[in-house]
Amino acid sequence: MSGALKEVRNRIKSVQSTQQITKAMKMVSAAKLRRAQDAITQMRPYAQKLQEVLSNIVSNSEGEVNMDLAAERTVEKVMIIIVTSDRGLCGGYNSNLIKLAKQVAKDKYPNQLAKGNVQFLPIGKKGYEHFSKNGFTVVDKFWNIFTGLSFDKVQAAAKYAMDAFANKELDAVELVYSEFKNAATQVYSAEQFLPVRKVAKVPGQKNADFIYEPSKEVLIAELIPKILNTQLFKGTLDGNASEHGARMTAMDKASDNANELLKSLKISYNRARQAAITTELSEIVSGAAALNG
């Protein structure tokens, strides 16, 4: 019986050690989440307004100005930018993003996927590892962006996509990321990155118009890349905050599960201990009875 008690004691110690780790990881993620949440909260209104301006400019300037990044053509080659995390232990965060990216390729670009004309640009180690190991065409230049996340690093990835599109090496670029809502809620999103989306024209309604200075051509050539850089940076910041929120939630649940397991193990330990004591008492009583007999 002592062997059974020792085994339960070892399991209790193991669960307690694991619980200490999960609690520490939750606290670390909570601290990182606050900074990441502040960054995306400040960035989001600016990025959304820029996207709105960009869509209006493209819609109102159609046919007037040469806009390579808004050119719609027959889609032969596609790239999907996917923002995952560098580390795991964040519940289903990474697996859900990878699943969505594959679903976008399968549903939206089935012919291109069958021909091998869909490539992935992962931002984050987990996405890079998955697509590399499973035989997909992968752009391996930007997966480590979260190591010292900065606008310049994200801008380099956006420029790579824009240059490939402008040179007609790509005909469409999709962005898959997790939009941060709160620590417990992430919305997995897929949106068109290139060509630049146009505002749908409503009959009888005029789209917003702008006064351009210097010229429309010069301003658009300068403005479109900057807004696309901002759009990708916003998606990356969203992903960064979502990762920490998902990990905090996952570690909180893991700590709760450890508590439940500890309760169960302690009950098992007490039962085994009581059984051992009962057995010892029975042996003592039997021994005493034998001596008296």
> Domain boundaries in the chain?
2-19+252-283, 26-249
- Choosing from 47, 82, 90, 265, which is the catalytic residue? 90
At residue 123, the pLDDT reads 97
Question: Which distant-in-sequence residues (6+ apart) come within 8 Å of 194 by Cβ?
Answer: 69, 161, 162, 165, 170, 172, 173, 228
Fold of the domain built from segment(s) 26-249: Pyruvate Kinase; Chain: A, domain 1 (3.40.1380)
At residue 131, the pLDDT reads 97
At residue 129, the pLDDT reads 97
Active site residue 90: yes
At residue 275, the pLDDT reads 81
User: Under CATH, which number does the domain 2-19+252-283 receive?
Assistant: 1.10.287
- The pTM (predicted TM-score) of the whole model is 0.86
3-state DSSP call for residue 241? helix
The per-type count for the chain, helices as H runs and strands as E runs, is 6, 5
At residue 293, the pLDDT reads 58
Mean pLDDT, 10 residues at a time, the chain of 293 residues: 79 93 94 94 90 76 69 94 96 96 97 96 97 95 94 96 96 97 92 82 59 75 89 96 95 94 90 82 80 70
Report which residue type is found at 107.
D
Both tokens assigned to 292: 């008296």
